[in-house]
Amino acid sequence: MISKELRDYIQKSFKRGHVICLSGAGISYESGIPTFRGQGGLWEKYDPALYAHLEGLTQLFKTNPIKVIDFIIDFYSVILKAYPNPAHRALAILEKENILTSTITQNIDGLHQEAGSRNVIELHGNAFRIRCNCAPDKTRVLAKDEIKEMIGLLKNHKNSRIKILRVLSRYFPRCLNCGCRYRIDIVLFGEMLPQDELSRAYKELNNCHVLLIIGSSLVVYPAAGLPLYAKVRGAQLIEINNEPSGLSDLCDYRILGQAGEILTEILGVLGYA
């Protein structure tokens, strides 16, 4: 699957370190999480004009809370069933061997960390983390068991507005410092990316000599601008994707196929499989 030219390049270059990964929805698709816009994705069932905006969700909850609860249940039910796949595990091995410096991800499922990756930069947040709506640096991680418990309670009480509010208040409490309500720590449409995470991404790319682009369509900015940033600083771009992306022509090497299979093959080339 990997050409001899790329195989030779990997053997010569990867062990120098400073390899960075930019991952998108395609890598988690292999764990059973449909892409939001793809077949079976949430936007087939839920209108993103409402459900992907904080204002839309807030207004909808006031008028029809059951619809919002159905969305929350569907959203978390998919993520809770997912486990890291061979691609996630391969990246964790490359990081452990000091080949991969960091993983910059557009995903919110936490699968990179679950696979063992430690230096993960989350551009769009994390579905298992909540933060103060007024102070984004005040965060708390919700364990999977807590999320499962919350989903169970919401299912049982979805026809009672008062009980729904009690459940949500329990898992999304008010900040003890400012009194603002905690919210899920993900970037919704129209919101800015967390600037500390974006700054970390650019800092990592300053020293990058190889950028692995895995499963990203490269159409959502500013994340889609990161490969160009790395390219103009001398990095080689290797794209691993099931289909061409918005910046495929910019890449030095392009591999069409499943990320899990290709990254497992890369481990073999490096002698770690």
pLDDT tens string, the chain, 273 residues long: the values are 788 899 999 998 898 879 999 999 999 999 999 887 766 778 888 888 888 988 888 899 889 999 999 999 999 999 999 999 999 999 999 999 999 999 999 999 999 999 999 999 999 999 999 999 888 888 999 999 999 999 999 999 988 989 999 999 999 999 888 889 999 999 998 899 999 999 999 999 999 999 999 999 888 888 889 999 999 999 999 999 988 888 888 999 999 999 999 999 999 999 987
Task: Report how far residue 201's alpha carbon sits from residue 192's, in angstroms, rounded to the nearest whole number.
Answer: 15
Nearest-angstrom CA–CA distance, 20 and 11: 16
pTM, full prediction: 0.94
Boundary (domain end) residue, out of 186, 207, 228: 186
Q: In what order do the strands lie in the sheet with 253-256?
A: 120-122, 100-105, 19-23, 210-214, 236-241, 253-256
Q: What phi and psi, each to the nearest 5 degrees, are found at residue 219? A: -120, -10
Q: What's the confidence (pLDDT) of residue 1?
A: 74
* Active site residues per annotation: 124
Residue-level pLDDT at 148: 96
Whole-angstrom CA distances from 197 to 60, 125, 236 are 30, 9, 23
Asked if 90 and 115 sit in the same domain, the reply is yes
pLDDT of residue 219: 82
pLDDT at 273: 72
> Could you tell me if 28 and 40 lie in one domain?
no
Q: Domain boundary at 186, 206, 234, which?
A: 186
Confidence (pLDDT) at 246:
84
pLDDT at residue 162, as a whole number: 92
120 and 205 fall within a common domain: yes
Looking at the 3D structure of the chain, how many domains does it have? 2
| Residue found by looking up tokens 């991680």 in the block | 141
Does 267 lie in the same domain as 170?
A: no
Structural domain containing residue 151: 34-81+127-186
Q: Does 216 share its domain with 246? A: yes
Q: Do β-strands 139-141 and 125-132 pair in parallel, antiparallel, or remain unpaired?
A: antiparallel
